[in-house]
Structure 1
């Protein structure tokens, strides 16, 4: 182990209690997407305590730390999301959410704590890090609604950035292990809204009405049956509806029904094919039921594509921290969404999966009301992010060759 690696490790190890306290404070005080003002203020105060240069973006819901412009040279970025979810915390722990109906059920409190630890260590060790030592930490809001990355890009988060890395906690992977995958990691996601309009009437005389609720139910059933038979089975595609809203009385046929769902694919082309098939189904059912269908695709989140070269660097960094024997290849991409993709149109990047499952604990998946982590992962994640920043900055400066293995 070279001196700069040892310096970073010692600095982060010395902050283990601080990282746990930061994570628990955020867990107790979660803020949902678009409301992350106090979370931003809290993280800014921690950065100020450590002397790390930072700037709060104009919305007051995100932070850029480290290099605030690109004057020092090509930058490497690390990213953390900071928003919580509208889910009631079901855990019985001292750091249970104090806000009714809101909790960090996706690990963003841990992401923020790890990025904070990495930023503090990178700043504290700047005198021993190999040149060029050019990095930026991005603390972004609104990941859960697919907006935050684009907000931060508009605020200058990617100015001068040549590579970007992130971690996401993985409750199905034991603490001390890291999941790695080059190329496709997550899905393209669209929100799907379907409004079905008919003619309302008395429940006893359905022949005088044009029932939009019946048409909506037929549409849902037909989609679930037809879409899997309309796409190549080798091309993963998921269409799921999570909401049907229509009517208020048992004896009244409503005039309108609204369905809300999601489309998940691994390419923009596949999403387009699914959208075209949905329109065909809607047109056919509309004609058959004498109703009208209005379909809209909203809030598109691009799929995360892990650049092979950046993934190799970050995987090497992770292997140095947890040991190469504790690296797991992720065989298949996830159909989940992740707005980290918003940075990847501007620079190559990589997201790794950090194991947070504790021994002997029940596994509670992401977005579960019982979600929690083994906090020993915080130090590991901070070390991986810090090393990745150094290695990316070095690799993408000058000739693009990474010789950090020989740097001291």
Structure 2
């Protein structure tokens, strides 16, 4: 049996285990920074296979090595493991059992696909069925949603000796049986934005005696949403979103402080710089007219994922063999979403593909309480990861 057909057969035979892992993770999600039990579970399962497994920093995340380290190059396969603070409102047997936390971005599926891919490549190696030496590393990464996990794993040695890295992301707008590929920029640059509005509190009946930070925060949000787009060339993409507003404790008290948190997303670095400067300028103006003090900071920055052309073409060619022409879609424009998978690109060429996950697109949207996948996509994701990794390892080798 040809090696790629053997990969498919192994994954098909282990599909119940792969789906079971995904459902367990979906029912027992852990948010960014708290993925200890998820990491222990994966450590045990991969360790039971006899693989070399190392727990990541603070007991979160894993690095998994292939049995043989004989190839002169190494490819990394990455899957993220953290969940979001969203209430799961689905009525399914694997519904989240953790109040206010769910896998609403498909990281449980990414983890299951990576597990399946490593399982298949390891068994192929143990059977002596690899057509050449392939050295790989699995990266199960925590804290993608807070954009800190990739840097932590790189610091723990995730990219040491790695020459390429690949990953996937489920896409509810693509049907099962289809994948999306793109060379070049795939996702946006993203800045995590933190704004503190400091005023002077007072009685709700006498706002004239205070400097109301809630009124100032409301004015600032409206100003950002209105004037950032007006300052940006309409041919350039910029998205500013405030996702958290926190201020006050009592209905009849004007508070001293309001906290705003959000994101700023751009596709062009020059536009990114001017947008951040403009946000600070607008905040200064609102502070002047409201008599408040406004502090703006951007504590975390995520660069765009830029897919390597050669790696992307390799993934596309393997997708064509696996799914046929109708199963491969060329993504025509970057997403305004962000991904800290881009951090690995500072150390080696990278490529990420979109995995169709909807029974009938569009499926429930990412980051929503009803998000779910059609689990038939798990086998496709695992197969394409494994096939691409093995083919990458065989490049430049004369196989008779």
TM bin (shorter chain): over 0.9
Shift, 1:392, TM fit: 2.1
Instruction: Give 2:326's aligned residue.
Output: 325
Asked if the contact 1:69/1:159 (under 8 Å) is kept, the reply is: no
Shift, 1:167, TM fit: 0.8
SS at structure 2 position matched to 1:59: helix
Instruction: Kindly provide the CA deviation profile for residues 272-327 of structure 1, in whole angstroms up to 9, marking residues without a partner as x.
Output: 21111111112222222322211111222221111111111111122221113211
Asked if the contact 1:52/1:119 (under 8 Å) is kept, the reply is: no
- Gaps of at least 5 residues in structure 2 are none
With over 3 angstroms needed to count, the CA separation of the structure-2 counterparts of 1:277 and 1:386, relative to structure 1, is same
SS at structure 1 position matched to 2:102: coil
Shift, 1:357, TM fit: 0.6
Asked if the contact 2:70/2:133 (under 8 Å) is kept, the reply is: no
Equivalenced residues, count: 398
SS at structure 1 position matched to 2:58: coil
Instruction: Kindly provide the CA deviation profile for residues 123-142 of structure 1, in whole angstroms up to 9, marking residues without a partner as x.
Output: 11122223231111111111
Shift, 1:68, TM fit: 8.2
With over 3 angstroms needed to count, the CA separation of the structure-2 counterparts of 1:51 and 1:247, relative to structure 1, is closer
**Are positions 1:210 and 2:215 aligned together?**
no
Instruction: Give 2:109's aligned residue.
Output: 110
TM-score, structure 2 normalization: 0.94
With over 3 angstroms needed to count, the CA separation of the structure-2 counterparts of 1:310 and 1:290, relative to structure 1, is same
Instruction: Give 2:163's aligned residue.
Output: 162
**CA root-mean-square deviation:** 2.0
Instruction: Kindly provide the CA deviation profile for residues 353-402 of structure 1, in whole angstroms up to 9, marking residues without a partner as x.
Output: 0001114x87211112111111111111111000111122233xxxxx4x
How far apart, CA to CA, are the structure 2 residues paired with 1:152 and 1:324? 36
Instruction: Kindly provide the CA deviation profile for residues 95-130 of structure 1, in whole angstroms up to 9, marking residues without a partner as x.
Output: 122222221111111111111111111111122223
Instruction: Give 2:81's aligned residue.
Output: 82
Asked if the contact 1:70/1:160 (under 8 Å) is kept, the reply is: no
Bigger mean CA deviation after superposition, 382-391 or 2-11: 2-11
With over 3 angstroms needed to count, the CA separation of the structure-2 counterparts of 1:159 and 1:256, relative to structure 1, is same
Instruction: Give 1:398's aligned residue.
Output: none
How far apart, CA to CA, are the structure 1 residues paired with 2:110 and 2:6? 22
With over 3 angstroms needed to count, the CA separation of the structure-2 counterparts of 1:208 and 1:267, relative to structure 1, is same
Instruction: Give 2:390's aligned residue.
Output: 390
Bigger mean CA deviation after superposition, 39-48 or 205-214: 205-214
Instruction: Give 1:98's aligned residue.
Output: 97
How far apart, CA to CA, are the structure 1 residues paired with 2:214 and 2:91? 41
Asked if the contact 2:51/2:67 (under 8 Å) is kept, the reply is: no
Asked if the contact 2:70/2:135 (under 8 Å) is kept, the reply is: no
With over 3 angstroms needed to count, the CA separation of the structure-2 counterparts of 1:20 and 1:247, relative to structure 1, is closer
SS at structure 1 position matched to 2:59: coil
TM-score, structure 1 normalization: 0.92
How far apart, CA to CA, are the structure 2 residues paired with 1:26 and 1:304? 26
- Gaps of at least 5 residues in structure 1 are 396-400
Instruction: Kindly provide the CA deviation profile for residues 70-95 of structure 1, in whole angstroms up to 9, marking residues without a partner as x.
Output: 77421011111111111222111111
With over 3 angstroms needed to count, the CA separation of the structure-2 counterparts of 1:269 and 1:35, relative to structure 1, is same
